Amino acid sequence: MKLVFFGTPAFAVPSLHRLLLQTDFEIAGVVTQPDRRRGRGGRVTPSAVKAAAMDAGCPIWQPQRIKKDPDTLQALQILQADAFVVVAYGQILSPEILAMPKFGCINAHGSLLPKYRGAAPIQWSLFHGETETGVTTMQMDAGMDTGPMLLRSALPLGLLDNAWQVADRLAALSADLLADTLIKLYQQKLRGVPQPEAEASYAPLIQKADYELDWRRGAIALHNQIRGFYPNCITQFRDGPLKISESFPLEFAAASQLPPELDGLAAAYSALAELEPTPPGTIAALLKGFGPVISTGQGPLLLRQVQPTGKKAQSGWDFVNGHHLTLGETLG
């Protein structure tokens, strides 16, 4: 199959690599977003997909707005590709582009559609405490992730999984599923299945306000927010902002789910049960070797990793010692 690959971030790179390595496919070109200023220094840097495409010697197009770029549109039309493969490209494709390839535009989306259509499916699935996510390949149409589904592959979610870890796993899953999807399409062994609209949900772009922690929410809800929007959730502490990137909800329901690195917490559960109620956001306990425990609207939350202003990320226990935390201090 002659393919054109559309993608931008690191999430899309495993899929591009897989298609480049497999002899069933010819990558006739790569379309990615223009170079952007990235990082603290603001240096103009190519996307992760562009860097991978350059290493492979692929032709590359970087239109500012692909729908309004006649040169790119003409070049894509001339290629007469069998399929356009789209993984986290970042621009909406027009009906003209969708109609160009013989087998249409095939997208790998990081959720089990029709759940979590939209820009941030991984983050919102964790935020809502899902125990399973996955990848769906679909035939793109003019809607937002509304096209007929082709193949799906599920991935279980653990209580400590964060958005970056899940993205890495789904990126690898996408690469395998895309290759399988394309081959089955070419062999005419696969047909799209309409998405059940009644089950649809959406995963919008993340806004700055989504990172703010409200300690009146429950411990499990806050933990899901922290891992879903990893590593950017923030609260106020003393005179400045405090990033919180790892946590653990110390509710008795979570005691059976302690991972090996938190085995030592089991002994603390009886003591936590005797804590006096304190307002949400209050430092209610200091667990030796682990970190501060914060009261929430429902249950205590252990802070496992934080980043004070102007400092590197540090463990919760280093934060306790370095800032001489005291019981009764408040966050938020």
pLDDT for the residue 253: 62
- The span from the CA of 211 to the CA of 280, in Å, is 18
The dihedral of CA 167, 88, 20, 148: what is its sign?
positive
Is residue 256 part of an annotated ligand binding site? no
Asked whether residue 198 falls in the same domain as residue 217, the answer is no
| DSSP letter string, 26-87 | EEEEEE-PPPEEETTTTEEE--HHHHHHHHHT--EE--SSGGG-HHHHHHHHHHT-SEEEEE
Task: Please indicate, yes or no, whether residues 71 and 163 belong to a single structural domain of this protein.
Answer: yes
Mark 134-171 as b/e (b = at least 16 C-beta within 10 Å): bbbbbbbbeeebbbebbbbbebebebbbbbebbbebbb
Q: Is residue 327 part of a domain?
A: no
Residue 183 region by backbone torsions, left for phi larger than 0, else alpha for psi between -120 and 50, else beta: alpha
148 is in an annotated binding site: no
Query: What pLDDT tens digit does each residue of the chain (332 aa) get?
Result: 999 999 999 999 999 999 999 999 999 999 999 999 877 778 889 999 999 999 999 999 999 999 999 999 999 999 999 999 999 999 999 999 999 999 999 999 999 999 999 999 999 999 999 999 999 999 999 999 999 999 999 999 999 999 999 999 999 999 999 999 999 999 999 999 999 999 999 999 999 999 999 999 999 999 999 999 999 999 999 989 999 999 999 876 666 667 777 877 877 776 776 778 899 999 999 999 999 999 999 999 999 999 998 899 999 999 999 999 999 999 99
User: What are the CA-CA distances from residue 108 to residues 200, 234, 260, 267 (Å)?
Assistant: 17, 31, 34, 44
Can you list the alpha helix ranges (DSSP code H) found in the chain? 13-21, 48-56, 70-79, 95-98, 121-127, 163-186, 219-228, 269-273, 316-322
Domain assignment of residue 331, yes or no: no
Pairing of strands 117-118, 60-61: unpaired
Q: With beta carbons less than 8 A apart as the criterion, state whether 325 and 286 touch.
A: yes
DSSP label of 211:
G
Q: d(Cα 282, Cα 215) in Å, to the nearest integer? A: 9
Residue ending a domain, among 142, 173, 203, is: 203
Q: Which of 203, 220, 252 is the last residue of a domain?
A: 203
User: Annotation-wise, does 114 bind a ligand?
Assistant: yes
pTM summary value: 0.94
Which one, of 101, 124, 103, lies nearest residue 112 by Cα? 124
- Does 113 carry a binding-site annotation? yes
Q: Give residue 143's domain range.
A: 2-203
> Are 176 and 225 found together in one domain?
no
Task: Tell me: do 217 and 301 sit in the same domain.
Answer: yes
Q: How many folded domains does the chain comprise?
A: 2
